[in-house]
Chains A and B, each alone.
Chain A
Amino acid sequence: MPKLVVEHISKSFEYKKILNDLSFYVDEHEIVSIVGPSGVGKSTLFNIIAGLLDPGQGEVYLDDKSILNHPGNVSYMLQKDLLLPYKTVEQNVALPLLLKGCKKKQALIQADELLKEFGFEMVRKSYPDELSGGMRQRIALLRTYLFSANLILLDEPFSALDTFTKSEIQSWYLKIHKNLGLTTLFITHDIDEAIKLSNRVYVLKGSQVDSFESIEIDSGSKKAKNFLLSKEFLNYKKQIINSLDK
């Protein structure tokens, strides 16, 4: 059963069509990526799904309910970790619970439990400024998770990190995605990252009208050693680059 269904979304800014009749879906427990060059409206699409932006046309369904213009249903995370500098790590993680009206004490207990589960209990009283980029991004992910495990929207969350931290955090994310049973919609302009993380990849080009087909990444081949250097990986990459050029 699809978790998220996006139907015929169009959006224009000042006579310029950004998104044109876009439809796609995300199944439960899937990681689906949307790849595309900058400026094709990936972030606009995310703002629409998050309920922050009104598209001119179309519908967005989460679990068969329309969430158009209704913020507060899906979790949302950007390239910037956006951990609030004036709150400690545990206060940051507890923030979504507080916003939902949870008692402060209860929210902190829940945040602490989650931090402990992921081995961050030693930094829970630290301020974000004292942490490394990779660490901050992971904590921001935990905050995103604590807001809602329903559907997680990630807008290039790892693109500001260096290669080593990035690859480490990608593996970490795959692990928690599986363990926590998440559903993720992922925006990136990094094709390698999309292939590595996703079950399916959508390629978004400038104002397309024609089909918006996904490329299925076979999870069996991902298990192979050195998948990132394998022929299958290169084939997927070729396929994505070809559909970008079309």
Chain B
Amino acid sequence: MRKKQRSTNINIYSILSVVLVIIIWQSASFFKLVPDFMLPSPLQVVQAFISDFHLLVFHAKVTLVEAVVGLISGVSLGIIAAIFMDHFKSVKDALYPVLVLTQTIPTVAIAPLLTIWFGFGIMPKVVLIVITIFFPVSVAMLNGFSSVDADEIRLLRSMGANQFQIFTHIKLPASLGDFFSALRIAVTYAVIGAVISEWLGGFVGLGVYMTRVRKSYDFDKMFAVIFLISIISLLLVAVVNVIEKYSMPWKRN
């Protein structure tokens, strides 16, 4: 009861600040402080969103599929790598520097290359997302696995537990907190990664649509796409939060 009230309070404040920004923006357009063709008013953006709704949904579906496929592959690969690095120190020594290296690669530079290698379909998008989110996920999981209390492991060993049982009963639940923090980051990276990748090569998707409207100077439509992308990311983060709450019942109180 008390908890519910507190979270509503936070929502009220954040809603207030968003409303305030929109009011300032709308009045700036209304009083002609900024010309329409440079910055459309929120009202115009909403109109563009409504009139283009079917087109936006069509492109959003493509982007969403790419993001989800990339997310699932990237997260699974990250977890598998973390398990191996946790289990074999030599794998960690060999893999860790390479992982850091993948983080230094500028995404924008590599995306056109991926298009050349893998074509204009879903593949280069997924690969780009995997490259972006593999590192944060594997490092967070590795961190979670190694933060386990050594005495807990000793206790389970004294009870005759094997490595797999130690993993499922201690390491996995102990690293869930780190996993969900990483997943929240990965979700937003995945959406942005998909959009950037479409931007630099593709036929469909929100990124493609965005380039198209930008080239025709339809900034109201462009803002509509930007908001849609933000909304998609926010919804995905919300989904992660809900899953987190249900898979970590011991953190609920």
B-contacting residues of A (Cβ < 8 Å)? 47, 50-52, 71-76, 78, 80, 82, 84-88, 95-96, 98-100, 127, 129-130, 147
Q: What interface size band does chain B fall in?
A: 20 to 34
A96 to chain B: closest residue by CB: B159
Specify which chain B residues have a CB less than 8 angstroms from the CB of A100 in the assembled complex.
160
Query: Given A95-B169, A99-B165, A127-B253 in contact, is the A84-B160 Cβ separation under 8 Å?
Result: no
Which of A52, A73, A129 meets B250, CB within 8 Å? Answer: A129
Expressed in whole angstroms, the Cα–Cα distance for A126 and B173 within the complex equals 17
B248 to chain A: closest residue by CB: A86
Expressed in whole angstroms, the Cα–Cα distance for A71 and B157 within the complex equals 7
Specify which chain A residues have a CB less than 8 angstroms from the CB of B173 in the assembled complex.
84, 86-87
Are B170 and A52 in contact, CB atoms less than 8 angstroms apart?
A: no
Expressed in whole angstroms, the Cα–Cα distance for A245 and B249 within the complex equals 52
Which of B152, B156, B250 meets A99, CB within 8 Å? Answer: B156
Are A76 and B248 in contact, CB atoms less than 8 angstroms apart?
A: no
Within 8 A of A (CB), among B239-253: 248-250, 253
Q: Using an 8 Å CB-CB cutoff, how does the interface string of B4-44 with A read, 1 for contact, 0 for none?
A: 00000000000000000000000000000000000000000
Return 18 A-B CB contacts under 8 Å, by A number.
A52-B158, A71-B158, A71-B159, A72-B158, A75-B159, A76-B159, A80-B151, A82-B149, A82-B151, A82-B152, A84-B169, A84-B173, A85-B250, A86-B174, A95-B159, A96-B159, A99-B159, A99-B165
Q: Using an 8 Å CB-CB cutoff, how does the interface string of B162-177 with A read, 1 for contact, 0 for none?
A: 0001000110011010
Are B250 and A127 in contact, CB atoms less than 8 angstroms apart?
A: yes
Task: Identify which of A86, A95, A127 gathers the most chain B CB atoms within 10 Å of its CB.
Answer: A86
Query: Nearest chain B CB to A1's CB is how many angstroms away?
Result: 24
Are A84 and B170 in contact, CB atoms less than 8 angstroms apart?
A: yes
Expressed in whole angstroms, the Cα–Cα distance for A98 and B169 within the complex equals 10
Specify which chain B residues have a CB less than 8 angstroms from the CB of A75 in the assembled complex.
158-159
Are A72 and B159 in contact, CB atoms less than 8 angstroms apart?
A: yes
Query: Nearest chain B CB to A26's CB is how many angstroms away?
Result: 17
B155 at the interface (CB under 8 A from A): yes
Expressed in whole angstroms, the Cα–Cα distance for A51 and B155 within the complex equals 11
Expressed in whole angstroms, the Cα–Cα distance for A100 and B249 within the complex equals 25
Expressed in whole angstroms, the Cα–Cα distance for A50 and B160 within the complex equals 10
B154 to chain A: closest residue by CB: A52
Specify which chain A residues have a CB less than 8 angstroms from the CB of B55 in the assembled complex.
none
B161 at the interface (CB under 8 A from A): yes
Expressed in whole angstroms, the Cα–Cα distance for A72 and B248 within the complex equals 29
Given contacts A75-B159, A96-B159, A100-B160, list 12 more A-B pairs with CB under 8 A: A71-B160, A74-B158, A76-B159, A78-B155, A80-B151, A82-B155, A84-B152, A87-B169, A88-B250, A99-B169, A127-B250, A129-B253
